[in-house]
A = this chain, B = another copy of it.
Amino acid sequence: MLSVLPSSSYKGTRDFYPDDSILDTYDFRKQNYIFETWKKTLTKRGFVQYDSSIIENAQIYIEKSGEELGSTQLYSFLDKGGRLVALRPEMTPSLARLVANKFRELKFPLRWFSIPNCFRYERPQKGRLREHWQLNVDIIGLLAGEVELELLILLGDLFKDFGADKRHFKIMYNHRQVLDNWLKSKNLFLQKELIYKVLDNWYKLDIKEKTEILSESLESSEIQTVLNLGNHEPQAFLEYQKIAKDFREFDFLKNLDKLQPDLEYEFSPTIIRGIAYYTGLVLEAFDKNPQNSRALFGGGRYDNLLELFGKSAPAIGFGWGDVTMHEFLSGHNLYPNFNENLQKVGILAVSEESLIKIFKTIIPNLIQAGKIYEINYEYSRSENKRRQTLNKKGCKEIILV
């Protein structure tokens, strides 16, 4: 009658099966575990959750940055009314829109989070799919200072609640204005774009490649100055730290090691996060598993974003993808054993007449006792076969009714 369609998911997207006995991959329970742990950590700290539609006016992203998202990677299309819309590639512009839209009603500072799915049109690869989910945590309405410390502590807590510590990851941060002031002090500000590019890819490029890129408009002594900084050469790094002292947030960040003694934080000029957008602190976390060397998340201060919508408020936040998080948790074997505490009870109905008793008494009692159940109605099969079926579905205890 009907033609047969392929049953695979759309390229670059995932299906989330309920039971990881099917596939040894990222199933619904794992995703749910990540989301619920994030929610719990944040909710306990007074953060509140928001959401919006995945469809947005494509102009938001085109205005926001001239980066690759603007054209090739943006998942944009014309709706049937001829509007250019996009499936959101990230949440921050939507957040800015929501805040601008109710700017007078909202009570700042906002400590908000969301776990949206986001889309990029690109060739799917490990750690990057067309659709992924991303925790977004933002604090809006506080100028640089205490809140930078608060956010970096929170990031550590988010890891700790998954059972992770400095054996598994490190958090690295930098400050865009510190870097810019350093560039100015070295008379290298006009070469900013090139130097940003090299620092941004510091651990991907070898020394020859770095030199090659920089030599495009730097002299050899200037190149050495940049290499010294990137390599955390003591004298160069000391100068850099001295510039940082001009920024109030560093009064607080110096306490990080005291406040999160089990974790590793590193101040490093090699954290950039693209050329646009960020205006102060920038941060990334790295998995120490050599098989999973991507950044686990990224973020920073972005004091100008609300201007897209004609408003102004200081803001700081980060995004943390579920794909890299899954790789982090499975790489370090940090997932709990989901089946350990599952007490599933099999109910073997012995005849049609059993049903009233099952629904009227047995099931309400099991629910009362917090036990999950599975009913089997196959009267015509042998009891043995039926027990096997229920065992396979995870029932250890079986009752005949």
Question: Contact residues of A with B, CB < 8 Å?
Answer: 1-11, 13-19, 21-23, 28, 31-32, 43-46, 48-57, 59-60, 63, 77-81, 85, 87, 97-98, 100-102, 105-107, 111-112, 117, 119, 121, 130-131, 142, 145-147, 149-150, 153, 251-252, 255, 258-259, 307-310, 344, 349, 352, 355-356, 359-360, 363, 367, 370, 372-375, 377, 389, 392-393
Residue among A14, A101, A146, A310 with the most chain B CB within 10 A?
Answer: A146
Would you call B60 and A5 a contact (CB within 8 A)? yes
Would you call A49 and B28 a contact (CB within 8 A)? yes
Q: Considering the complex, give the chain B residue whose CB is closest to the CB of A360.
A: B259
A60 to chain B, nearest CB (A): 6
Would you call B10 and A107 a contact (CB within 8 A)? no
Would you call A85 and B10 a contact (CB within 8 A)? yes
A136 to chain B, nearest CB (A): 13
Q: Which 7 pairs across A and B sit closest by C-beta, in order of nearness?
A: A13-B53, A18-B48, A7-B101, A4-B310, A77-B77, A16-B51, A7-B100
**Contacts A10-B56, A373-B46: A5 and B359 contacting too (C-beta < 8 A)?**
no
Please name all residues of chain B whose beta carbon is closer than 8 Å to the beta carbon of A16 when the two chains form the complex.
50-52
Would you call B307 and A2 a contact (CB within 8 A)? yes
Please name all residues of chain B whose beta carbon is closer than 8 Å to the beta carbon of A3 when the two chains form the complex.
63
Please name all residues of chain B whose beta carbon is closer than 8 Å to the beta carbon of A146 when the two chains form the complex.
349, 352, 355, 375, 377
Please name all residues of chain B whose beta carbon is closer than 8 Å to the beta carbon of A360 when the two chains form the complex.
258-259
Q: Considering the complex, give the chain B residue whose CB is closest to the CB of A102.
A: B22
Would you call B52 and A15 a contact (CB within 8 A)? yes
Bound Cα distance A52, B8 (Å): 11
12 CB contacts below 8 A, A to B, read A2-B308, A4-B307, A6-B309, A7-B101, A7-B309, A19-B48, A28-B48, A44-B370, A46-B373, A111-B374, A259-B356, A259-B360
**Contacts A100-B7, A355-B252: A79 and B349 contacting too (C-beta < 8 A)?**
no
Please name all residues of chain B whose beta carbon is closer than 8 Å to the beta carbon of A21 when the two chains form the complex.
107
Q: Considering the complex, give the chain B residue whose CB is closest to the CB of A368.
A: B44
A30 to chain B, nearest CB (A): 12
Given contact pairs A2-B308, A4-B307, A9-B97, enumerate 15 new A-B contacts (beta carbons under 8 Å): A10-B55, A14-B53, A16-B50, A17-B50, A17-B98, A19-B48, A28-B51, A43-B372, A44-B367, A45-B373, A54-B131, A147-B377, A149-B359, A251-B352, A259-B360
Please name all residues of chain B whose beta carbon is closer than 8 Å to the beta carbon of A150 when the two chains form the complex.
359, 375
Please name all residues of chain B whose beta carbon is closer than 8 Å to the beta carbon of A54 when the two chains form the complex.
54, 117, 131
